[in-house]
């Protein structure tokens, strides 16, 4: 029956033997259960025929010892010692480098093994390699609890063993696959919008990949490097400083995650504004510049209010990027929702005072919205450039304010005056 099992095993694994490089001589030399063990090992790392035969002989010797001692009456529970883990089995048979590679393939979360696997790329010296191997061997004897974070443990060892440059490179190696997948996903999404200029296509994916590689390695969420609040802060700064412009543009156009300012509003309406490539580049550049400025001001003093300075920055830069026609279209789109909301609030106020009795609500709301939109656009234009033309334009719109809104203003002024008078009398 053993012979039949070997024949069946031969056919089962011959298909993959070329990939796994399992020696035909090995398959003819050992029992099926040991061939399977050798196959498990060479499926992970390629080994020469001589090495495979050494492993087979070691397994066979262990079988013999187990059988001899079992026949002598040794308890079955003690027979396990003749069947060590692959890690212990391979020590002395394969090289330390081969053992490092084998162990890493079975425990890719182990950063100590990762460091050993990429020791040449990291340019580790003999002292560093020896220390890391010693620490890795101690892992088996650690009393690990559920709350134990292996990544933090690895980092503590590696931080004290590697240079800063080596450690950063190691973290980037650890996050390479995750960063690649994230970059590929973004690439596919951006491709759907067809916003990648042909001349930039060869560089876009690499830029995305480098961005995620840097962000993931700096945040190191696997090791819980920062608490949730700090992690968000660091991530936000990395996004502002390092995120490729094409990804920022995609996020704005798809209404995903971005900061709202005049520059992002212009990008959001880029089709309506018929923006050129140079205009888009300038808007994205100033968007980043403004938000980094806000972030750093907040770091210095969270209570500091510099809204006026930020608004002046936006207004000064935007008029140098867009022409008057584009600015007008931008401000109309920017203020449209706000104008409708203010018009609805005015209607509610007038309705409470019974000033709307017998009036067509739909027509009045349209009149109020149009007025409010024109007023908001004119106000923004005056803030951008407070010349006489914009001042008179704003004043002209105010003079054409609908009569019912003037009545509402007059009523509110009277109420405020009465309230202020009562307060004065109390004093």
Q: Given pLDDT bands bounded at 50, 70 and 90, which one contains residue 146?
A: low
Long-range contacts of 312-320 (CB under 8 A, 24+ apart): 314/261, 314/262, 314/263, 314/286, 314/290, 315/262, 315/383, 315/384, 315/385, 317/263, 317/286, 318/262, 318/263, 318/266, 318/286, 318/384, 319/384, 319/385
Q: How many CB atoms lie within 10 A of CB 359?
A: 13
Q: State yes or no: pLDDT of 12 exceeds 90.
A: no
The predicted-structure confidence for 260-294, as pLDDT tens digits, reads as follows 999 999 999 999 999 999 999 999 999 999 999 99
What pLDDT was estimated at residue 5?
Answer: 44
Residue 8 pLDDT level (bands cut at 50, 70, 90): very low
pLDDT tens digit string along 335-355? 999 999 999 999 999 999 999
Position 7 scores a pLDDT of: 47
Of the chain, the percentage scoring pLDDT greater than 70 comes to 92
Spatial distance between the Cα atoms of 36 and 13, rounded to a whole number of angstroms: 9
> Which has the closest alpha carbon to 240: 182, 286, 205?
286
User: Exposed, middle or buried by CB within 10 Å (0-12, 13-18, 19+), for 246?
Assistant: buried
């Amino acid at each position: 029956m053993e012979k039949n099992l070997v024949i069946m095993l031969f056919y089962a694994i011959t298909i993959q033997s070329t990939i796994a490089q399992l020696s035909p001589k090995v398959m003819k030399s050992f029992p099926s259960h040991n061939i399977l063990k050798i196959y498990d090992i060479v499926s992970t790392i390629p080994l020469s025929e001589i090495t495979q035969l050494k492993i087979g002989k070691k397994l066979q010797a262990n079988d013999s010892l187990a059988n001899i001692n079992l026949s002598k009456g040794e308890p079955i529970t003690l027979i396990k010692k003749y069947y060590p883990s692959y890690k212990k089995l391979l020590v002395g048979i394969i090289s330390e480098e081969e053992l490092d590679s084998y162990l890493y393939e079975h425990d890719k979360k182990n950063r100590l093994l990762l460091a050993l696997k990429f020791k040449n790329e990291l340019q580790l010296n003999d002292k560093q390699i020896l220390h890391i191997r010693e620490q890795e061997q101690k892992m088996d004897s650690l009393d690990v609890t559920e709350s134990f974070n292996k990544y933090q443990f690895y980092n503590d060892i590696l931080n004290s063993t590697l240079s800063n440059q080596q450690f950063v490179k190691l973290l980037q190696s650890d996050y390479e696959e995750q960063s690649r997948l994230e970059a590929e996903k973004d690439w596919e999404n951006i491709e759907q919008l067809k916003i990648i200029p042909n001349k930039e296509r060869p560089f876009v994916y690499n830029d995305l990949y480098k961005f995620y590689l840097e962000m993931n390695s700096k945040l190191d969420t696997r090791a819980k490097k920062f608490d949730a609040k700090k992690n968000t802060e660091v991530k936000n700064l990395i996004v502002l400083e390092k995120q490729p412009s094409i990804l920022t543009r995609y996020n704005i156009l798809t209404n995903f995650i971005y900061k709202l300012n005049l520059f992002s509003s212009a990008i959001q309406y880029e089709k309506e504004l018929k923006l050129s490539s140079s205009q888009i580049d300038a808007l994205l550049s100033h968007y980043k510049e403004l938000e980094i400025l806000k972030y750093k001001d907040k770091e210095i003093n969270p209570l500091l209010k510099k809204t006026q300075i930020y608004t002046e920055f936006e207004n000064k830069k935007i008029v140098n990027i867009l022409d008057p026609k584009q600015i007008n279209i931008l401000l109309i789109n920017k203020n449209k929702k706000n104008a409708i909301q203010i018009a609805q609030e005015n209607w509610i106020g007038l309705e409470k005072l019974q000033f709307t009795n017998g009036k067509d609500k739909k027509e009045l709301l349209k009149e109020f919205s149009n007025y409010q939109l024109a007023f908001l656009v004119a106000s923004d234009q005056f803030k951008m450039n407070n010349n006489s033309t914009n001042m008179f334009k704003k004043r002209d719109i105010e003079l054409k304010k609908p009569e019912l809104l003037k009545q509402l203003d007059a009523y509110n002024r009277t109420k405020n005056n009465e309230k202020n008078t009562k307060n004065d009398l109390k004093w």
